[in-house]
């Protein structure tokens, strides 16, 4: 596949380059190579000053502006393909989603995934999980701030949990430890 640039025609298949302004010999080489398609006809047209194709005989002679325009347009698709090639050249990777654990799906009644702690309630905050769990709630305690004020902490909704074990993420079993605080 050749590429058409300003003042130069390269054809890597044949390893030849034609420079502008062309010599008669260059034009001959181009024709003998049986290079088919638009670019070939365009190059021949540019070199000879007139098309060899009867269908395009009515085309006017090309000005330098036309040459610059056609050269730029010819480069454009090649530049795009070059960008795609750089993506294709990247290292192969999987696309299996993240390894973060799943939230508990059926808790989303209020647009959130929190759940209270208590008897007969699920302790884990991770779905597709098996492992050790600890859960607690309804803390009471007190502490001191940096101004010396005694401030209580804890309420019926002050809850914590920890989960250690296997969970499902990125379409595979994962191991981890997580806490709900």
Partner 1 sequence: MFRGPAVPANQIHDFHPPIAPSGLYWVVPVPERGLTISPDGNTFTLEMQNVPVVDQPRWPALDSIATPARMTFKMVWKSTGEPVRYEDPSKHFRFIGTRASCQLEAQVEVPSVGFSWKSDSLNTSKSDFAVIGEEVNGRYYDS
Residues that bind partner 1 (CB under 8 A): 98, 100-104, 106-108, 112-115, 117-146, 151-156, 160, 162-164, 166, 168, 176-181
**9/125 with CB nearer partner 1:** 125
Nearest approach in angstroms of CB 41 to partner 1 is: 55
Q: In the numeric block, which tokens belong to residue 177?
A: 């430890």
Is 37 or 98 the residue whose CB approaches partner 1 more closely?
Answer: 98
CB of 14 or CB of 160, closer to partner 1: 160
Contacts of residue 116, Cβ cutoff 8 Å, sequence gap at least 6: 137, 157, 159
The C-alpha angle 88, 94, 99, rounded to 5 degrees, equals: 145
The C-alpha atoms of residue 166 and residue 14 are separated, in whole angstroms, by 60
Q: Give which of 162, 160, 159 is closest to 178, Cα–Cα.
A: 162
Q: Name the token pair of 109.
A: 């009644």
The least CB distance from residue 8 to partner 1, in Å, is 51
Which of residues 20 and 178 has its CB atom nearest to partner 1 in the complex? 178
CB of 96 to partner 1, least distance (A): 15
Exposed e or buried b per residue across 72-108, where buried means at least 16 C-beta atoms within 10 angstroms of its C-beta? eebeeeeeeeeeeeeeeeeeeeeeeeeeebeebeeee
């Amino acid at each position: 596949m050749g590429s058409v640039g300003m003042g130069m025609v390269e054809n890597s298949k044949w390893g030849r380059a034609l420079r502008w302004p062309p010599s008669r010999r260059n034009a001959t080489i181009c024709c003998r190579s049986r290079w088919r398609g638009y670019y070939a006809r365009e190059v021949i047209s540019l070199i000879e000053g007139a098309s060899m194709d009867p269908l395009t005989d009515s085309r006017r002679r090309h000005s330098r502006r036309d040459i610059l325009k056609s050269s730029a347009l010819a480069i454009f698709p090649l530049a795009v393909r070059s960008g795609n090639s750089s993506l294709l050249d990247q290292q192969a990777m999987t696309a299996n989603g993240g390894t973060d654990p799943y939230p508990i799906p059926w808790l989303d009644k209020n647009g959130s995934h929190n759940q209270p702690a208590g008897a007969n309630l699920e302790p884990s905050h991770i779905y597709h999980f098996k492992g050790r769990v600890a859960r607690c709630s309804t803390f009471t305690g007190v502490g001191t701030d940096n101004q010396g004020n005694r401030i209580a902490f804890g309420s019926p909704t002050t809850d914590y949990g920890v989960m250690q074990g296997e969970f499902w993420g990125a379409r595979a079993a994962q191991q981890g430890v997580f806490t709900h605080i």
